[in-house]
Amino acid sequence: MEEFVFYNGKKLRKGYTTGSCATAAAIAAAALLFEGETHETVQIQLPNKEKLLIPIDSIERINDSCKAFVIKDGGDDVDATDGMLIGAEVTQNTEKQIVIDGGTGIGRVTEVGLQIPVGQAAINPVPRKMIEESVRRVIGPNRGAKITISAPEGTTIAKQTMNRRLGVLGGISILGTTGIVTPMSEEGWKRSISLELEMKKSQGHSAVILCPGNYGEDFAQNTLELDGEMIVSMSNFVGYVLKEVQRLEFEKVLMVGHLGKLIKVSAGIFSTHSKDADARTEILIANLALLGMPADQLKGIQKCLTTEAAGEIIARTGYEEVYQVIAEKVKRRSEDLLKYRKHEPSIEAVLFSSQRGYLASTIPLDVLKEEWR
């Protein structure tokens, strides 16, 4: 297996998923319980049939069961689960079946729409299959085992993941489709957003509220008093998420965001991270100039480091109508992105400021609140 990948000109080390960790721990525990063998490392078979060697951090026998732990190594990927312990406890099952469940620190599914039924431990299908097939190779066809996957820090670490949004409560999920973590975190983040959108759609939602982050979510729920069940955080991946909304055939979209983020969308910038584009001031100046703001005032806007600071000049000079112009452009640019493709959802937008609150929306605020509560 290749240990490195090149991404954005950087050489990055690959790691292994929580699913691979759980598989390795289960193999080690089963080998000690059924064969009396203690392993410092175990070899697992990945879904593509490649082999991966994983070190065992600890292993012990307690009465009629054996427990092993692996330290999660995410490579150079930014992951909340990196460095945490993933364990497996194995006991004999007299019915010759292999039963897999979650213990301490492993979340439980509470919402429909995921790959796992409500009530079951959040151990995804591919890791379940890896664990079962690997342990079966150890114990043979005529013996059974009960395997309990655990993560001692799982309840705490889960607060740093998207589990709560997905209806997975009480701990982390055991994940992985390939068994390998390829360090391109943005791609994994996008997949998580897609999963959340798919879950919303499967639950019967035909409309979705998209927010760039926590500020947008807080404003949508606490100021506009909109339905929190309809909110999905799109982060900086505006274009990607809009196309996913189109793919899943949502009927309506409401974008609620801080001026500093959505002003980029008004100019056709659909990846809003500052590393990709930061033309907030230039976009604001262009729109204000079209409204007739004098050059000396525009030069004052140019010196502002944030849209919040620019807002003070805009308020003082009476050019607040620029916010409505920008909101309309956010709507138009977003609709243009999805034009001429199958299924075109209706899109509305709301802009706000941290200091000034609500700035503008593409439909009247009272109508918007009635439609989206």
- For 29-80, give the DSSP string: HHHHHHH----SEEEEE-TTS-EEEEE--EEEEETTEEEEEEE---TTS--T
Predicted confidence pLDDT, tens digits, the chain (373 residues): 456 444 455 555 678 889 999 999 999 999 999 999 999 999 999 888 888 899 999 999 999 999 999 999 877 666 788 899 999 999 999 899 999 999 999 999 998 777 889 999 999 999 999 999 999 999 999 999 999 999 999 999 999 888 887 889 999 999 888 887 766 557 767 887 898 899 999 989 999 999 997 789 889 999 999 998 899 989 889 999 999 999 999 999 999 999 999 999 999 999 998 778 889 999 999 999 999 999 999 999 999 888 888 999 999 999 999 999 999 999 999 999 999 888 899 999 999 998 899 999 999 999 998 888 7
Q: Which CATH superfamily is domain 4-183 in?
A: CbiD-like (3.30.2110.10)
Phi-psi region of 287 (alpha: psi -120 to 50; beta: other; left: phi over 0): alpha
Q: How many Å apart are CA 312 and CA 3, to the nearest integer?
A: 52
- Classified as helix, coil or strand, 21 is helix
The residue extents of the domains of the chain are: 4-183, 192-372
- For 73-115, give the DSSP string: --TTS--TTTT-EEEEEEEEETTS-EEEEE-TTB-EE-STTSS
| CB-based contact 208:343 (threshold 8 Å) | no
| CB-based contact 37:31 (threshold 8 Å) | yes
3-state helix, strand, coil in the chain (%, to 5): 40, 25, 35
Q: Which amino acid is at 294?
A: P
- Measured distance between the N- and C-terminal CA atoms of the chain, rounded to whole angstroms: 50
Nearest to 173 by CA among 193, 149, 147: 149
| CB-based contact 232:210 (threshold 8 Å) | yes
Nearest to 209 by CA among 242, 278, 255, 168: 255
Cα dihedral across residues 33, 35, 40, 44: positive or negative? negative
How much is the pTM? 0.69
Q: Which amino acid is at 194?
A: S
pLDDT at 69: 98
The CA-atom distances, in angstroms, between 372 and each of 16, 86, 343 are 41, 41, 21
Q: Which residues contact 309 (CB under 8 A, 6 or more apart)?
A: none
Q: How many Å apart are CA 58 and CA 350, to the nearest integer?
A: 53
* Tokens read off for 143: 């013996």
